[in-house]
Structure 1
Amino acid sequence: MPPDHGTRDENRLSVVVVGGGITGLATAWYLEKASRQSGTDLSIVLVEREKVLGGKISTLNEDGFIVEGGPDGFLTRKPWAFELANELGIADDVVYMQVTGASLLHKRKLHRIPAGLMGPAPASRKDVWDASFLSWRGKLRASLEPLVRRRKAGGRESLGGFLRRRLGAELTDTLLEPLTAGIYGSDSYDMSLDALFPMLEEWEQRYGSITRGMREARKAARGAEQAPSAFFSLKGGTHRLVEAVAEGLERTEIVSGRTAVAVDLIGDTPPLYRVTLDDERSFEGDAVVLAAPAQDAGNLVDSFAPGLARLLGRMQSASAVSVYLAYRRENVANPLDGSGFLSPRFEQGPVAGCTWMSSKWPGRSPEGHVLLRVFMRTEDDAPAGGSDGVLIEAVTEALHSLLGISGAPERVWVHRWADGLPQYKVDHTEWLESVDRELDAHPGLFLCGASYRGVGVPDCIRQGRDAAERVHVFARRGAAQGASV
């Protein structure tokens, strides 16, 4: 059993944060902010295994092309990314989408998606009937959604199963499945409804219809101050947010290019932890925040929390591959007058979707050029697992006839996320509850990040902020309170 080491001075707090993605950086930022307000003498060590901070947020600025390795923007409906940018003093760097609308690949042709179908549920029957990619039977079935009975309580339901039950198979599999799969990198029939889209269940129970629920949500949104577009980004790319946080940290020692290999509990009352790195250095902390993927976090805590480690090891993740292609504008016949297109699984082919980056955001390509980002299918038999050359050949062949492209791309970039997308399976909520119960037995240990309560950047920032608050509550209460995700 770890020894006691006396009482902790509540005005002094040492924290080790493992993970230098946006969650870990936000944790450090909000820890420093809270310590300034409370007068706590705070010291933080933040450990990141890569040499460059940011995790999945990475930006390459090359010859006037801005190439994002991860997300290209942040959702405005969830305010935490914009709030952080404002706190950092970079609100003047914010840019909004300069186009609206997107298309769907259906029978090898691009069809414009009605604006009211760009969410998880139709905004109106008219939007359904305006969809040129749906048959009249599919339109009729989706239009009857308000007449579908509420589901009786009992058991979890997948996102795809819920949408199919309420809206029918055609709309779900043709549009809504690729729309959600494109965000989460998962089959919607395996995805957790209550963890990812809890409002859909709420709308069904409250209104008896998710179409009406979407309509009511839009009415409420019209009464609030609206952002110019659904997403925002930053001049020079999303990594500017990461850079600004790192530049603003004053009480945090950043150790990059080193991997945490173990976390050990070396003191029990109050708790004291030691984090050991791959170069045999170690750092002690009153609290440890693991802002790393769940499986990595599980490997770190196995010595003193084997039950928690087993739970965290159950988290599955998916890989993602994207290919950037740069062309001269005159070599692309398609007007690219939208943000891009999606491709349902049954369309086959290597392309799951394509973002027209130079149309979507200002300043993403030099004058006279266009920049396309292609998301590859990652099934076992897809070319995404092949060499860069195989990927590029498959993508260019798929896009040339579809977009009227002539000639080879002038520049190409390939980005791979190995196991970069946590999978929120149908039982994700129960898994989280089990993780919370295990964490209660380990005061001073905290978890946050994309594996837990939201995969997008705003959600990760919120989780970092909440983790910082829980650390300070823990310190004020003298470790009497357990920690939870």
Structure 2
Amino acid sequence: MKTVAVIGGGITGMSAMHYLQKFANEENSEINLILFEKDAQLGGKMTTVERDGYLMEVGADSIVARHSSVQPFIDELQMQDDVVYNATGVSYILRDQKLHAIPVESVFGIPMNLNALAESTLISEAGKKALEQDLLKQEVPFTLESSVGDFLTYYFGDEIVQKQIAPVLSGVYSGDLFSLTIGATLPHLLTYKKEFGSIMKGFEANKEFYEKSAAKKFISFKNGLISLFDRIEATLENARIEKETSVTAIEKVENGYRIETDRHEAIIVDEVILTTPHQVAQKVLADEALNQALESLQTGSIITVYLAYDLPNTVLPADGTGFIVSSGNDIDCNACTWTSKKWQHTSKNEKLLIRMFYKKNNPKFEQFSKMSNDELVEIAKNDCRKGLGITEEPSFVEISKWMDLMPIYNLQHKQAIQQLEQIMNEKYPKLHLAGSSYYGVGIGLCIQNGKEIAEKIIKG
């Protein structure tokens, strides 16, 4: 019987466990599964906290619904009745102390048509006219490895990129638009340009897809994202899950791999799926040959602050779900989500719950990272006062810090991954690097990554 060890109980690791079992059952093959998770709770960066009638996701807050891996995964786990969707509403960009609505018919601030462009209150007439280049410039001097910032500026002009697109995209991918590749962010835009001669014409040709997914863009669950992990764990058979157990070393031996932990005697397994952040992989493998590629992988950090208020949701704009901060503001956060308005299930008493985001690309982030929690609370309260006019004291706050754990796919990412894959294939057959450090930061991509590796192991 083959024994497979999965290191890390985040979404990649748990989806790999699910699909290892599923494919083994379909192939009528026996398999012994073991998972090691350093924390007391599964979930990784998908962590739910309940307090005083509020439900707070202190890591990722939702799953992008339209990724092809997501719905089948939910169906297989029979969690359809637990799914909740985000409330539809307007997202804003805060600039010059004013809230500007991001046009509804836009994707990450990118207008899908001329109507969406006309609706923008952020862009001057000259800036709007610059988008004609999307129709006039037919040449495509870009590849998937080109900067997405350079690509969008070339066809749309600098103003809309800087004022409307960059605040949104940089927020989603936690990086500088000009250091992120097209392939790692919006690869379909390159396809649209090549096939239709225009990015906006590409959106128009795929209008039905975007209209269908617009109302239900994001998914969560009635009891929070953590319930996804509870369900996977409950459905696993013949699987051993070791929580509060850190893997300290992985060594290649004649019959597979020797895994050492801080709690048990070493075990020998046939194959390993290593889903931890790349810094942990570097430590447990301790191989100089891998260091250069692993050290070139880039990460970001984020601090988030939840503030719960004994106020009704109606104190905020009725049609809104949050704002992203652009330049020219006397406010410190990168973004603000009106959680109790965007996700109704997060506030049982329909009281206001707000989440502030402070990211590594924030000019003051180094200063914030050294602050005490009390100091961070004062920063967040001040941002609520300046950005939303809320002067009341919060009933409680919840702070979370994810330091150097948010993968950023810079222009060198693909080359580093190719180098890693070559070394792994040569020196570590049947040891699989997986997860957001390498193959996609979105939850849907992580599910897909876990599934693909499981299929490779079981079906060969």
SS at match of 2:105: helix
Residue of structure 1 aligned with 2:408, choices 405, 411, 423: 423
1:195 and 2:184 aligned: yes
Aligned match of 2:34: 45
**After superposition, where does 1:265-414 map in structure 2 within 5 Å?**
265-267=252-254, 271-279=255-263, 281-303=265-287, 306-330=288-312, 333-347=315-329, 349-378=331-360, 379=362, 381-382=364-365, 383-385=367-369, 386-414=371-399
Which residue among 48, 52, 58 is the counterpart of 1:59?
48
Alignment partner of 1:144 out of 129, 133, 137: 133
Secondary structure of 1:105's aligned partner: strand
AA in 1 matched with 2:129: L
- Alignment counterpart, residue 242 of structure 1, candidates 198, 215, 229: 229
Question: What is the root-mean-square deviation in Å for CA atoms of aligned residues?
Answer: 2.1
Worse-matched range after superposition: 379-388 or 157-166: 379-388
Question: Whole-Å Cα distance in 2 between the matches of residues 276 and 197 of structure 1?
Answer: 40
Contact 2:64/2:219 (<8 A) preserved: yes
State the TM-score, normalizing by the size of structure 1. Answer: 0.89
- 1:121·1:214 contact (CA, 8 Å) conserved in 2? no
Taking structure 1 as reference, are residues 155 and 81 closer, same or farther at Cα in structure 2, changes over 3 Å only? Answer: closer
Distance 1:151 1:100 in 2: 35
Residue 346 of structure 1: CA displacement? 4.8
- Call closer, same or farther: CA 1:368–1:331 in 2, change over 3 Å: closer
Q: 1:230 — aligned with what?
A: 217
> Which residue matches 2:420?
435
**In the TM superposition, what is the alpha-carbon distance from 1:120 to its structure 2 partner?**
6.0
What one-letter code is carried by the residue in structure 2 that aligns with 1:118? V
Once residues 434 and 15 of structure 1 are traced to their aligned partners in structure 2, the CA distance between those partners, rounded to angstroms, is 25
Amino acid at match of 2:233: A
Alignment partner, residue 477 of structure 1: none
Indicate the larger mover: 313-322 or 135-144.
Answer: 135-144
In the alignment, the residues of structure 2 paired with residue 462 and residue 322 of structure 1 have an alpha-carbon distance, to the nearest angstrom, of 27
Q: Could you tell me how far apart the structure 2 residues matched to 1:203 and 1:331 are?
A: 40
Note closer, same or farther for the CA distance 1:464–1:209 as it changes in structure 2 (3 Å cut).
same
Asked if the contact 1:354–1:372 (Cα under 8 Å) also holds between the matched residues in 2, the reply is yes
Report the alpha carbon displacement of residue 88 of structure 1 after superposing the two structures with TM: 1.3
Distance 2:138 2:372 in 1: 49
Q: Using the alignment, how far apart are the partners of 2:184 and 2:413 within structure 1? A: 7
Structure 1: stretches of 5+ with no match in the other structure: 1-11, 475-485
Shift of 1:310: 3.2
The yes-or-no answer on 1:157 pairing with 2:150 is no
Q: 2:8 aligns with which of 3, 19, 27?
A: 19
Residues 321 and 417 of structure 1 are in contact (CA less than 8 Å); yes or no, is this contact kept in structure 2?
A: yes
**Alignment map for 1:47-126 (pairs within 5 Å):** 47-119=36-108, 121-126=110-115
Counterpart mapping for 1:440-459 below 5 A: 440-441=425-426, 442-459=428-445
Shift of 1:357: 0.8
Superimposed CA distance per residue, residues 138-188 of structure 1 (whole angstroms, 9 cap, x where no aligned partner): 111124322234233579421112111221111111121111111121111
User: How many angstroms does 1:455 deviate by?
Assistant: 0.6
CA contact (8 A) 1:77 1:230 kept: yes
Mark the runs of 5 or more structure 2 residues left unpaired by the alignment.
none
The 3 A distance-change label for structure 1 pair 410 and 101 is same
SS in 1 for 2:429: coil
399-408 or 356-365: bigger deviation: 399-408
Does the Cα contact within 8 Å between 1:297 and 1:309 map onto a contact in 2?
no
**Contact 1:322/1:376, CA 8 A, preserved across alignment:** yes
The equivalent residue for 1:480 is: none
TM-score where L is the length of structure 2: 0.94
2: CA distance between counterparts of 1:226 and 1:133? 25
Shift in Å at residue 436 of structure 1?
A: 2.1
Take 1:293 and 1:83, find their aligned partners in 2: how far apart are those partners?
26
Inter-CA distance 230–182: structure 2 relative to 1 (3 Å threshold)? same
When residues 461 and 349 of structure 1 are mapped into structure 2, their CA distance, relative to the original with a 3 A threshold, is: same
Q: Which residue of the other structure, out of 165, 169, 178, is the alignment partner of 2:158?
A: 169
Summarize the Cα distance change of 1:237–1:439 in structure 2 as closer, same or farther, 3 Å threshold. same
Code of the aligned partner of 2:155: R
Of 84-93 and 114-123, the range deviating more from structure 2 = 114-123
What is the count of residue pairs matched by the alignment?
A: 456
Percent pairwise identity: 29
- Kept in 2: contact 1:274–1:285 (CA 8 A): yes
